[in-house]
Each structure stands twice: as C-alpha cells, then as structure tokens.
Amino acid sequence: MKTLLLSLMAAASASAALVEKTVEYDQGGTTLEGFHVYDDAVSGKRPAVLVIHQWTGLTDYEKGRARQLAELGYNVFAADIYGKGVRPARPDAAKEAGKYKGDRDLFRARLKAGLEVLQKEEHTDTAKIAAIGYCFGGTGVLELARSGADIAGVVSFHGGLDAAEGKAAEKGGVKAKVLVLHGAEDPNVPTDQVLAFGKEMVEAGVDWQFVGYGGAVHAFTQKMAGNDNSKGAAYNEKADKRSWEAMKVFFAEIFE
Amino acid sequence: MKTLLLSLMAAASASAALVEKTVEYDQGGTTLEGFHVYDDAVSGKRPAVLVIHQWTGLTDYEKGRARQLAELGYNVFAADIYGKGVRPARPDAAKEAGKYKGDRDLFRARLKAGLEVLQKEEHTDTAKIAAIGYCFGGTGVLELARSGADIAGVVSFHGGLDAAEGKAAEKGGVKAKVLVLHGAEDPNVPTDQVLAFGKEMVEAGVDWQFVGYGGAVHAFTQKMAGNDNSKGAAYNEKADKRSWEAMKVFFAEIFE
C-alpha cells in the first residue's frame, strides 16, 4: 500500500503538466497578444507573476522564463506591451521601445492591461501578485510600481532605472516592494542613473533593494546576448543564476 | 519500528547541542581570545565560518551570530582582533578600531591568526571556509580578501569599504568571492566610498556582489543600535533578515 502511494505521488510529481495559452486582450483599441502558463498539477489559486518583455517584444525568451516560473508553482502571464504581431528586431526594437519610454502614460496603460488579465485569471491569488521584467520590461515593472499598482512586489532584471520627467515615484505612493538586479558594469544603465534611482526611492519612502553583480553588463540573463562584455551586453552565467535566486528569495518573502 | 525510528530522529534533531569553547591564541606576542562553537549533532568535517567583530571587540553580539551559524551546521570561530580583555566602549572603541584601520598590516596579521585557528580546527573542511564581519569586521573580511587569503568567500555586513593607500586589491590577487551587504542610507559608508570600492573590485577582477538595502543605515543588523535612523546607525529588521538570507544563499553557492 505504501509503495503504491509513493508510486502515485511520484507519478503526480512527474506529470506536473504546464498548461499554456495565447491570450488576446485589448488596450485603447489595440489588440495585444500575451502568453499564459501554469502548472495543472498545482491545485487552486496561487501566487501569480506578470512578466514584461524586453525591447524585441514578447518572444520565446520571455515564454521560457514564464514556464520556469510556472514550474515553481506560480500562475504566470507574459504580457504584450507592443501589440499583436509587433515583435521588432534591431534597430526597430529600439525605436519601438522608445515609443513607450517616451510616453509613460501609454506604457503604464499597457502594463495595467496586462496586470488586469492576470488579476482576473481564475488561478490567481490576487493578494499575491508580483511583476518581473527584463531590460525594457525592467523599466516597465518599475513604472508599474511608480504608478501605485496594488501588487506585492516587482523585480527588474538589468532594466533602465530612469523616471520620466514628472513621473517619479511619489512619496508614499508605491505599494510594491522593489528589487533591482543590475549588472555592475552595465554601460546602458550608468552610475548616475543608479544614484538618481536610489534618491528617488529614498525620497518616495519605497521598500527597495538593489543588487549589483560584479563582472556583469547589460542583458546578463540572456544567452542570445553572447559572451563579449566589451559589447556592453552579454550573458553572464553567474549573474543569471544569482539574480534568479535573489528573485526566488524575494518572492518567498513577499508571498509569505 | 518506524515510530521508534522517527522518535529517535526527532530526539537527535532536538538534541542538536552546541559545543562552545573560549580559545586563547597568539599573534606577534599578543594574546587573543576567540570563541569557537559547533553543533555536536553534525558529524565530521564541515564548512566553516570565521566571524570578525565590530569596533567594540568580540562581544555577546558576535557570539550570538556564531551560534546562529553553528545551528546552520557550520564550524564557527569568532576571532579576536584587539587582544584578550580589550573590549572597549565608546569613544575608546573608535580609537581602538582606528589603530587597525590605520595599520592594515597589523589588521591583516590578526585576521590571518584567527583564520589559522579555524583552518587547524578538526571539524573544519579547509576547502570550504568563509569569513563574515560586522562594521569594523566587515572592513576586516574585505581586508582578508584583499590580502589574497585562500578562502571561498567573505561577507561584509555594513562594513567600511575603503582600501588603505597602497593596499587595494591587486589584479587577480583576490581568491575569495565577495558579498557586500550595505545600508543604502548609511552615512558612515557614503556613496563615494561605495563607488571607489566598485572600481577597485572591477579593476582587480574580483568575483563580487553588492546589495544595498533601502531604508537601512549603519549597523542595521544590531538591535542595540536602536531604531532612530537619524542617528546614522539603527537596527532595521527587514534589512537584518534579508541580509542574513543573502548570506545563506551565498554560502550555499560557494560551499557547493
């Protein structure tokens, strides 16, 4: 009987099946196409994570991260900021990202639309939602925090940290706890920007943490960035693993 | 039988007995008095941690941290930098600490003497040694790293980060991985010092990580520092817990 029970448990664990769905939704008349994934072997409502993509839009990279998070037991939605089918390569990616960085109201509206999809999804424990983002998406989750979104926390992986003119975090206005995971040698996010961000967080009374990874430049979590630090963007295995662990520890705290 | 076995296991776990010893040792003719602690319920050699005290010398605070580490399964030695019986209160503490900050060769010699006690102790797995330190001791463990000590890693809790003239880390000369846990609003370790430290680490090619805790000032791990941030030193429960978790994650990596 005991052996049977153990076998059944092992089978249940092994069968942990990810359920994946493409989700169309709308913001301001624009059709957006996100990616929803969760583990069917986990029952009921659970903590949830919103994933915001980098400048090339929602790609296999973000879907992979979403799957990793689903395997940890979270209900995950990778949002689409740009619009269905808008998945630009360089140099168009910079232009497309710039559109949202230059219009933070639009950026916030798109982020909020993605968050609402996750909030309404039946597997989400709405008291336990976090958002993570990469590069452009790192900027995005900070923007979500600055907007006063009622979520538990945000994690930026090598995101730009600059607030737009008149759009800095307001004193007492940030509900989310903030964790910034930064490549200490990232030329895209220079020291001045880091210091200005710290000042913004202090003045707004935010619960924030900043981690700088030695030896890491921009895009340190992304293998497709190559391994040449001199290009300013490169994969760094140590920083990738360490930042993922830091995120997990952060989630354990905020979802307690 | 199964119930008996479980009872025995529970008893073994509950009986996890810390063995504590005061250890006298010598450096350059000065008698030093350290504190050794380990869990007798753990068998054989194990990873080991050297603890370096703050400016008031080896006190109950460091002994408490040493016990916490022993409970995690480490073989722990809290070193004495100042000498037997030298446990100064303010303002003498600043003067005593200044003696070693102003003479890094002496500081390094005392650090090395403490490390050697731990290296020779029978429970130590000599391939798995780390050092942690608080305030003055944070500076100490960085000094140990700069000296090229052959250990796996060092963790500074709200330590001063400045290298002495001519004593900066040398390129390729630092073997230990470095984790700095810093109060983002610590007036004793200002931004200029943080930036100079980062530059030093980059130039020396050190494997380093830096964490800044929002809302935290100097001495954020120490309840006896009180709760008034405006004094520049104060306890911060969140930063205390987060930094301890960060240390544990770091140990899990370096002792792998």
What ranges make up the beta strands (E) of chain B? 18-27, 30-39, 46-52, 75-78, 124-134, 153-157, 177-183, 208-213
User: What are the pLDDT digits (tens) for A1-23?
Assistant: 444 444 444 444 445 699 999 99
What per-residue confidence (pLDDT) applies to A173?
A: 98
- Give the number of beta-carbon pairs within 8 Å between A and B: 69
CB contact under 8 A, A207 and B201: no
**How many Å lie between the alpha carbon of B91 and the closest alpha carbon of chain A?**
31
Does any CB of chain B come closer than 8 Å to the CB of residue A196? no
Q: Is the pLDDT of residue B11 over 50?
A: no
CB contact under 8 A, B209 and A214: yes
Number of neighbouring beta carbons within 10 Å of residue B74: 27
Does any CB of chain A come closer than 8 Å to the CB of residue B105? no
Report pTM.
0.94
More confident site: A59 or A91: A59
What per-residue confidence (pLDDT) applies to B192?
A: 97
Chain B positions touching A213 (Cβ under 8 A) are: 209
| CA angle, residues A245, A248, A253, in degrees to nearest 5 | 130
Nearby residues of A216 by Cβ (< 8 Å), 6 or more positions away: A158, A183, A184, A185, A186, A236, A238, A239
User: What are the pLDDT digits (tens) for A38-85?
Assistant: 999 999 999 999 999 999 999 999 999 999 999 999 999 999 999 999
User: What are the pLDDT digits (tens) for B137-192?
Assistant: 999 999 999 999 999 999 999 999 999 999 999 999 999 999 999 999 999 999 99
3-state DSSP helix/strand/coil % of chain B, to nearest 5: 40, 25, 35
Query: Least CB-CB distance to B202: which of A211, A214, A253?
Result: A214
What per-residue confidence (pLDDT) applies to A16?
A: 66
List, in order of start, the domains of chain A with CATH numbers.
2-254 (3.40.50.1820)
ipTM of predicted assembly, 2 dp: 0.93
Does any CB of chain A come closer than 8 Å to the CB of residue B238? yes
Q: Is A75 helix (H, G, I), strand (E, B) or coil?
A: strand
Alpha-carbon distances of A95 from A18, A63, B71, rounded to whole Å? 34, 23, 54
Alpha-carbon distances of A180 from A59, A131, A212, rounded to whole Å? 22, 12, 8
**How many Å lie between the alpha carbon of B195 and the closest alpha carbon of chain A?**
9
What per-residue confidence (pLDDT) applies to B90?
A: 85
| CA angle, residues B35, B176, B30, in degrees to nearest 5 | 35
**How many Å lie between the alpha carbon of A63 and the closest alpha carbon of chain B?**
27
For residues A114 and A133, give the distance between their C-alpha atoms in angstroms, rounded to a whole number.
13
Does any CB of chain B come closer than 8 Å to the CB of residue A238? yes
What per-residue confidence (pLDDT) applies to A15?
A: 52
For residues A11 and A26, give the distance between their C-alpha atoms in angstroms, rounded to a whole number.
40
Alpha-carbon distances of B191 from A195, B212, B217, rounded to whole Å? 9, 11, 12
Minimum Cα–Cα distance from A191: chain B residue:
B195
Chain B positions touching A185 (Cβ under 8 A) are: 202
Dihedral pair phi/psi, residue B225, rounded to 5°: -80, -5
For the record, the structure tokens of B118 come out as 């731990």
Does any CB of chain A come closer than 8 Å to the CB of residue B245? yes
Q: What is the mean pLDDT of chain A?
A: 94
Dihedral pair phi/psi, residue B218, rounded to 5°: -65, 155
What integer is the mean pLDDT of B32-53?
97
More confident site: A39 or B2: A39
Chain A positions touching B198 (Cβ under 8 A) are: 184, 212, 214
Q: Is the pLDDT of residue B1 over 80?
A: no
Q: What is the mean pLDDT of chain B?
A: 94
As a whole-number percent, the residues of chain B with pLDDT over 90 amount to: 93
Interface-testing mutation among A209, A211, A243, A256, with chain B (most B C-beta atoms within 10 A): A209
Cα radius of gyration (chain B): 18
Does any CB of chain B come closer than 8 Å to the CB of residue A246? yes
Nearby residues of B233 by Cβ (< 8 Å), 6 or more positions away: B188, B217, B218, B219, B222, B225, B226
Does any CB of chain A come closer than 8 Å to the CB of residue B174? no
What per-residue confidence (pLDDT) applies to B91?
A: 87
What are B204-207's contacts with CB under 8 Å, separation 24+? B204/B168, B204/B169, B204/B170, B204/B171, B204/B172, B204/B173, B204/B174, B205/A215, B205/B171, B205/B172, B205/B174, B206/A214, B206/B145, B206/B169, B206/B174, B206/B178, B207/A214, B207/A215, B207/A238, B207/B177, B207/B178
CB contact under 8 A, B211 and A208: no
Does any CB of chain B come closer than 8 Å to the CB of residue A175? no
State the number of CA atoms in the 13 A half-sphere of A17 facing the CB: 6
As a whole-number percent, the residues of chain A with pLDDT over 70 amount to: 94
For residues B131 and B76, give the distance between their C-alpha atoms in angstroms, rounded to a whole number.
10
CB contact under 8 A, B207 and A213: no
Does any CB of chain A come closer than 8 Å to the CB of residue B190? no
What integer is the mean pLDDT of A101-126?
98
Q: Which residues pair with B131 in a beta bridge?
A: B50, B154
User: What are the pLDDT digits (tens) for B60-109?
Assistant: 999 999 999 999 999 999 999 999 999 999 889 999 999 999 999 999 99
What integer is the mean pLDDT of A77-104?
96
State the number of CA atoms in the 13 A half-sphere of A110 facing the CB: 29
Does any CB of chain B come closer than 8 Å to the CB of residue A203? no
What integer is the mean pLDDT of A242-251?
98
For the record, the structure tokens of B212 come out as 């800044």
CB contact under 8 A, A214 and B207: yes
What per-residue confidence (pLDDT) applies to A91?
A: 87
Dihedral pair phi/psi, residue A133, rounded to 5°: -155, 155
DSSP secondary-structure letter at B44?
S
Helical packing angle, B237-254 and A237-254, nearest 10°: 140
Helical packing angle, A136-146 and A92-101, nearest 10°: 10
Q: Is the pLDDT of residue B17 over 70?
A: yes
Question: Beta strand B153-157 with A30-39: parallel, antiparallel or unpaired?
Answer: unpaired
